[in-house]
Chains A and B, each alone.
Chain A
């Protein structure tokens, strides 16, 4: 929603539509980007369950995507990834 609303157009009682924050992208907050290695990932889903920004997408029990529209680059996914000795998710600089 780009345009500013006048007071007459404001929703009554500040009732907002559900889930619209999905239209707001927080990906540009990121200074580091998580990159996933599909070859070493064991699909434990830890990165999925601990991501604060619902950015790790799972389908049929497998991580299929990191949604960079939302990922803020916190690095939690890398931290919780159990794959050793090299984690299956690595944070790399955006620059």
Chain B
């Protein structure tokens, strides 16, 4: 595993001068992920904040071959790139070892790009798909997605007289990917560079389809002070709202167990999207959300015990 000093020697593959919001977590994911790859890499990104803000005409922040696909087909586009590469390599027309990474936001991954991702994973393409999950459609002004957690206020399901934010529970995409029986599926956050780069490094060493779901704090859509991006990522892990784990050929491993599991409220409090949950009349809802986190955390620990790596 590369140390920070080793990573810092490698070229930054995303330049400054992109137009993401100050403090945005998405370019942090991209910088760290691409730093973790030693080989040449081709990147595809679905439409979303990341793609839109890094490729505003006539500029591009990408220092690697980069393709913009449509909102729904980042994984399908990358399948084609990888298949063409594999064929050319077989024909002896190219040599070397090139890696393939597709990025998509949660909207472009959990929702509209879901079948494209599912197909690419099932066909077994040698690629890594990274979902940068900011839990809503941010680029079009914070509409709710399948990744938006219950209770979060969005522009399409705002907290008010009728509703207290999103009614439904979020989809567990990482587990959907585990169910695809791919060799590697993992969850990580913006806020633990070591965990993120380690997981990308590991994914690169495995042949076949890989998936990493990264929770990405978004100061605009979540409504928090822009310098808190890293802290919020850490709080998501410390409250077990977003457990860090990996599943390698069906074997579950926890990457991080908080010394002391913090109350969910510590993660929710700094964010405007959850502000209404702290009204006295929403106490029951807040308790239900905590219970849901607890239940899922216990379930994950059980999976690690039952289907974990032998010790």
Report A's interface with B, CB cutoff 8 A: 1, 5, 11, 14, 16-26, 29-30, 44-46, 48-55, 58, 61, 67, 69-76, 78-80, 91
Nearest residue (CB) in A for B219 is A74
Contact of A49 with B32 at beta-carbon distance under 8 Å, contacts A18-B66, A21-B18, A61-B5 already known? yes
- Please list the 10 inter-chain residue pairs (A to B) with the smallest Cβ-Cβ separation, ordered nearest first: A70-B16, A75-B227, A74-B23, A21-B61, A72-B22, A21-B17, A74-B22, A24-B17, A22-B15, A16-B60
In the bound complex, how far is the Cα of B23 from the Cα of A78, in angstroms? 12
For chains A and B in complex, what number of residue pairs have CB atoms within 8 angstroms? 124
Distance of A19 Cα from B48 Cα, bound (Å): 19
Q: Is the CB of A18 within 8 A of B228?
A: no
Task: Flag if B20 contacts A49 (CB, 8 Å).
Answer: no
CB distance from B229 to the nearest CB of A (A): 6
The chain A residue sitting closest to B226, CB to CB, is: A74
Q: Which of B51-59, B78-86, B261-269 contacts its partner?
A: B51-59
Interface magnitude class on chain B: 35 or more
- B39 → A minimal CB distance (Å): 17
* From B19, B28, B55, contact of A16 by CB (8 A): B55
List residues of chain A with CB within 8 A of the CB of B101. Answer: none
Q: In the complex, are the beta carbons of A19 and B32 less than 8 A apart?
A: no
Determine the residue in chain A with the shortest Cβ distance to B53: A21
User: Does chain A have a CB within 8 A of B230?
Assistant: yes
Q: Are the C-beta atoms of B59 and A52 separated by less than 8 Å? A: no
Q: Which of B6-14, B107-115, B174-182 contacts A (4 or more CB under 8 A)?
A: B6-14
**Contacts A52-B23, A61-B8, A76-B23 given; does A19 touch B63 at CB 8 Å:** yes
Hey, which bits of chain B sit against chain A, CB under 8 A? 4-5, 7-8, 12, 14-20, 22-28, 31-32, 54-66, 68, 193, 226-231
- When chains A and B are docked, how far (Å) is the Cα of A58 from the Cα of B9? 8
Contact among A1, A26, A76 with B16 in the assembled complex (CB-CB below 8 Å): A26
- B28 closest partner in A (C-beta): A52
Evaluate contact between B60 and A19: CB separation under 8 angstroms.
Answer: yes
Structural contact, B17 and A79, CB atoms closer than 8 A: no
Contact between B7 and A52, CB atoms less than 8 A apart: no
- Distance between B256 CB and nearest chain A CB, rounded to angstroms: 18
Residues on the B chain within 8 Å of A67, using CB:
16
Is A49's CB under 8 angstroms from B193's CB?
yes
Distance (whole angstroms) from the CB of A24 to the closest CB of chain B: 4
> Which of chain B's residues have a CB closer than 8 A to the CB of A78?
227
Bound CA span A26–B62, Å: 16
A55 touching B16 in the complex, CB below 8 Å, given contacts A5-B58, A45-B5, A50-B193: yes
Given contacts A22-B16, A25-B17, A79-B231, contact A54 B59 (CB under 8 A): no
B54:A21 contact, CB within 8 angstroms = yes
Question: Closest approach, in angstroms, between the C-beta of A2 and any C-beta of chain B?
Answer: 11
Partner of B22, one of A16, A20, A52: A52
A19-B60, A52-B23 are known; give 17 further A-B pairs, CB within 8 A: A1-B59, A19-B15, A19-B62, A20-B60, A21-B16, A21-B18, A24-B59, A49-B4, A51-B28, A52-B24, A52-B26, A67-B16, A70-B15, A70-B16, A74-B227, A75-B226, A78-B227
